[in-house]
């Protein structure tokens, strides 16, 4: 039920009357119900003081900060209360054991490719792409090393992105995936969506005992929370891509939603807001969970994925990646 708060305006965030209070530079004031807030995403220029930070730590609110271009740059995380030495040891053990690591890495790829195929099947004339992706999935089964596996995943992703031009109706044309900086609108949308997913997955990981720096598919040495990259693989095609298709095919985005120049393209504030509105409602969408027998939101599915991983690491139940059944 608790929600994510996205702040674009510039101003000050304070603790006031035991809740979160935002005062923007143009004089608007707003209170937010602290009990219903799960994490805060800051896009504007915001001032914070230690009093506010202490308060967020007390309420277990995570703060994610994005830079001028909407890229994720860092987080303020409350002191970790959920630490588990045993789980950490197991996590490392599974990383060091090659077979175990391959199994988990393969599972993440499997989940990712499954959701890519699922997306493509919703549209016509995408059969050949679906077949190519299943071939890559077959290849992935026989991979001997993580590099090979990453190669399969990368090729499948190329095929998937090539199919975008069939799916997307309007004048937006997708040539190839480019990051840093994204050079066309589609790339800008993918980059922005992915950075949202990374931080959302990270907030969910922090609610469990998992250590976000030890990962299996991505190498864990890269000064980032690579476990959230691993888990994001599964959720990127499930959550971000349908939003992109919706925004473009329903003509919800206009030229002024992008800040374009010769060698870069970024979403403007209005574009980001439109994206976030869809993202927020997607995260709150609920589906009936087969095993739990109750409705769960997409956001909670991410947490369940973490719990499944913990069970696997503790040798309780073998990890199977989420495959959307609805």
Judged by the rule CB under 8 A, the positions of this chain that interact with another protein are 1, 3-9, 17-19, 22, 30-36, 273, 276-277, 280
Residue 55: CB minimum distance to another protein, A: 11
Residue 58: CB minimum distance to another protein, A: 13
Any binding-site annotation on 289?
no
Residue 295: CB minimum distance to another protein, A: 11
Residue 64: CB minimum distance to another protein, A: 14
Any binding-site annotation on 153?
yes
For another protein, the closer CB: 33 or 154: 33
For another protein, the closer CB: 4 or 305: 4
d(CA 320, CA 312): 9
For another protein, the closer CB: 163 or 276: 276
Pairing of strands 46-48, 37-42: unpaired
For another protein, the closer CB: 55 or 114: 55
Under 8 Å CB-to-CB from 14, ≥6 apart: which residues?
A: 20, 21, 22, 23, 49, 51, 52
For another protein, the closer CB: 32 or 103: 32
**Chain-centre distance of CA 41, in angstroms?**
13
Any binding-site annotation on 219?
no
Residue 94: CB minimum distance to another protein, A: 35
What residues are designated binding site for Mn(2+)? 153, 218, 233
What residues are designated binding site? 153, 218, 233
């Amino acid at each position: 039920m608790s929600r994510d708060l996205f702040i674009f305006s510039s101003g000050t965030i304070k603790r006031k009357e035991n809740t979160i209070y935002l005062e923007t530079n143009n004089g608007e004031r707003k209170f937010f119900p602290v009990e219903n807030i799960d994490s805060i995403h800051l896009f504007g220029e915001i001032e914070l003081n230690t009093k506010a930070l202490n308060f967020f730590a007390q309420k277990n609110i995570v703060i994610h900060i994005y830079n001028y271009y909407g890229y994720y740059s860092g987080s303020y995380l409350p002191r970790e209360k959920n630490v588990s030495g045993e789980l950490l040891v197991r996590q490392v053990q599974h990383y060091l054991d090659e077979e175990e690591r391959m199994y988990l890495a393969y599972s993440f790829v499997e989940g990712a490719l499954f959701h890519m195929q699922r997306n493509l099947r919703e549209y016509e004339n995408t059969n050949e792409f679906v077949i190519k992706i299943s071939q890559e999935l077959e290849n992935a089964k026989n991979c001997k090393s993580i590099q090979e596996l990453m190669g399969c995943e990368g090729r499948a992703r190329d095929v998937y992105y090539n199919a975008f031009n069939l799916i997307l109706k309007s004048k937006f044309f997708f040539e190839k995936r480019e990051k840093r900086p994204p050079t066309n609108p589609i790339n800008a949308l993918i980059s922005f969506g992915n950075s949202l997913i990374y931080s959302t997955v990270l907030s969910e990981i922090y609610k469990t005992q998992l250590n976000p720096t030890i990962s299996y598919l991505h190498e864990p040495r890269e000064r980032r929370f690579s476990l959230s990259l691993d888990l994001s693989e599964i959720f990127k095609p499930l959550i971000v891509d349908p939003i992109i298709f919706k925004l473009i095919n329903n003509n919800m985005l206009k030229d002024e939603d992008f800040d374009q120049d010769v060698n870069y393209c970024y979403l403007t504030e209005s574009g980001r807001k439109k994206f976030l509105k869809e993202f927020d409602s997607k995260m709150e969408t609920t589906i009936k969970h087969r095993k739990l027998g109750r409705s769960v939101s997409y956001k909670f599915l991410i947490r369940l994925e973490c719990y499944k991983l913990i069970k696997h690491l503790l040798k309780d139940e073998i990890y199977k990646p989420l495959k959307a059944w609805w």
